[in-house]
Structure formats: structure tokens, C-alpha cells
A and B are shown apart, each in its own frame.
Chain A
Amino acid sequence: MINADDMFRTFQPLREDALVIVTGTAGKHWADHTTKQNRDLNMGGAMGHTTPAALGLALGLPDEKVVLFDSEGALLMNLGIIATIAGQAPKNFVHLLMDNECYATTGGQPVPNAQDINYAGMAKEAGYAAAYSFDNIEDFATNIGKIMQETGPVFVAMKIVPEVENEPIGQRTRRPTRSRAETIRTLREELGIS
């Protein structure tokens, strides 16, 4: 399995000017590595719907590369989106899935059929241009640079070490995060969108 913090550290130098959206428990680590906050977007708001929001962004900004770090629990809530993405075939879209096989934020309960789903296989058969699976950081590091240069939509499934949270919600330590509205505002300023 891949440590999410290591994965984001590996990805960061390869980002170039891509717009980056993260979701899920593991996504919090991106904040420790990003160097272009104005190009980071928080598109959360309803579980399972960050993925279509990222698709909308890719369709709305076809000259920008859009990179989504998705989670398997969220994707399963809205699995039809992989057909929608494949149908639109955005060339500027890279869809990475952080699969920790569980709902980490609710105590680590397994997602349905957690260990036996082939997400990359589903994406490829749905019609993504390419799909890959990684379960160790070495293979991810070897390949992600080339993958980032491919024509999308590209899907990358990664087995991620779960970071299970069991404390009551009110007692958890929360790191400051930028609100969705703030990230949208700064991105639109960055891109000159009125």
C-alpha cells in the first residue's frame, strides 16, 4: 500500500500548472505539499459529487489540465460518473483514485467488496483513454510523470494506507482548510474569469 503523504510528495514536482482537486480523508496531505494554492480547488459539498464537479471544470476550462484525487467511497456513491467522463472524453483530465478500502472518517468500516474491486478495470472498460493501478510508491513514482503527459481522460487507481479516525467528531483536530468559495474565487482571479 501507498502512504498518501509520500504519494503527494512524489506528485508535487510533476504538477506543473495543473488545477488540483482533492477529496477524502487522505486528501488532507496535499496541503502540506502544494506550492500553487491559487490553483488548488475545494469542490466538496456533497459526497460523491466532487467527481462530476471536476469533470465540469475540465469541460469548462479545456486549456487547463485538471487533476482529481478522488476516493473510492465517494466514487462508489456515484459510479455512473465514470461513464459520463468517458463519454465526454476530456483530454485534459487526470483522475486518480485513493483507494483505502474503507470509510476512514467514520471509523474504518469497509466499502462494499473492498478488496476485490478493479477500479482501473472499470474505468478502462467504461472508455477512459488509459487506466493504471499501483499498490506501491516505487511503481507510482516511476510512472506518474509519463501518465501526467498522456491524453486524457486517464485513470489511476492507488491502494492507499487507511488513516482511520475513531475519535468523536467534535474532539478531532481539524487543520485549517480553505473554503470552497475562497478557492473558487482565487482560481477565477488567477485565470481572469469574471
Chain B
Amino acid sequence: MVNQQAALLRPETLIAEFKKIGVTHIVTIPDSETNYLYELMQEQDWLSVVPASREGETFAIALGLSVGGKVPVCLIQNTGMMESGDSIRGMALDAGFPLLMVVGYRGWNRHGVITDTAARYTEPFLNAMGVNYYLVETDEDAERISIAYEEAKTNNRPVAILVGDEYHGFNRI
């Protein structure tokens, strides 16, 4: 029998990964599924949370932060990522700086049929933009965040983390 609790992705795990890779700013649009993560991020004295009004802003803000020597992460949902196409193109890919995109994979499910078009188009969108991505579902996947950031630094490009646990505990203790 699978231990469901042990299979969760805990927000604390993400925070630990962010600290390990030296993240200074989280530029984000909060959503209900990541509310506990949002609260936890705000408690960290080494981390600044920058709430944006629209996801496209996050990539441009991240560029400015990067120019200033900071290490930003864009934390958004897949719906907003798709809305951000021109910003990802012009402010992230064309600018060419290391950027971790942590993207809530709304609608994705390992089992059964995916009916939410937000999930259906997420990976085709990233492939079209030429942005590599890693799926993170549980704490055991967390090291992929560091791997993704190393790849971003090596190639001076954005790399995405798709958080596939959105509806299964990412918002819980």
C-alpha cells in the first residue's frame, strides 16, 4: 500500500531548494493551491517575495533583478505562463540569463484522461518556446530543482519546473 503522506511535495522542500541555489527573489502570482507556500516564503528573511499583477510581468521583473546581480525565480501557474509568451520570448529567452520558472501544472494528472486544456497545452507550449522542463511531484523529485537551475546557469536560459502535485498537498503542511 502506498503511503500517500510520504508522496507529497512539501512546500518546505521547495523553500530548502530555493535556499540551496541562492534564490533572492520570488516573483509570483499567488494562486489558491500554493497559498501555504506563499505564506512560508514570506516568513524567510533571506527571501523577498514580489507579487506581480500579471504573469508576463514576472519575466521582465526577473530580468531587471538579474541585471542587478540578484537570483530571481518566477513562480506562476501554467495558464499565466501561456499568457506570458511574448515576455518569455523577449525578456527571458532573448535576454539570455539564468532563470528558474516554477510552474503549477494545473489540470495535470498522472492517472486517467487529462481534460483541462491548461494541462494539455503546457508541455507543447514549452517545447514550442524551446524551454526545457522537469516534472516535480514529490519530495523525492526535489533535487531536480537544483539540476534545473544548474542547467539554466550553464546555458543562460530559462528552465521550467512543472509542479505536478498542485492538487495533492502542495498547499498543505
Interface residues of A (CB under 8 A from B): 41, 43-61, 78, 80-81, 83-84, 87-88, 180-181, 184, 187-188, 193-194
Contacts and interface: CB of A to CB of B under 8 A. Distances in A.
Contact of A56 (B64, B86, B94): B64
23 contacts: A43-B60, A43-B64, A46-B60, A46-B89, A46-B90, A48-B56, A49-B56, A49-B90, A50-B60, A52-B52, A53-B60, A56-B60, A56-B62, A56-B66, A59-B48, A59-B50, A59-B61, A59-B65, A59-B68, A60-B64, A61-B68, A84-B50, A193-B69
B68 A193 contact: yes
Interface of B: 25, 27, 48, 50-54, 56-70, 72, 86-87, 89-91, 94-96
A21 B97 CA distance: 19
B94 A84 contact: no
A52 B67 contact: no
Contact of B66 (A47, A54, A60): A60
Tell which of B61, B62, B69 has the most Cβ of chain A within 10 Å. B61
A57 B91 contact: no
A60 B56 contact: no
Top-10 shortest CB links A-B = A56-B64, A60-B68, A80-B53, A46-B90, A45-B90, A52-B60, A57-B64, A49-B60, A56-B61, A52-B57
Contacts, number: 107
Contacts of B65: 56-57, 59-60
Contacts of A81: 53, 57
Contact of B63 (A43, A48, A58, A78): A43
Nearest to A21: B64
Tell which of A46, A47, A81 has the most Cβ of chain B within 10 Å. A46
B67 A57 contact: yes
A59 B25 contact: yes
A184 B67 CA distance: 7
A129 B56 CA distance: 25
Tell which of A49, A54, A58, A181 has the most Cβ of chain B within 10 Å. A49
Contacts of B96: 181
A193 B35 CA distance: 34
A46 B86 CA distance: 6
B63 A53 contact: yes
Contacts of B94: 45
A45 B48 CA distance: 25
Nearest to A183: B67
Given A49-B56, A88-B50, A56 B72 contact: yes
A52 B95 contact: no
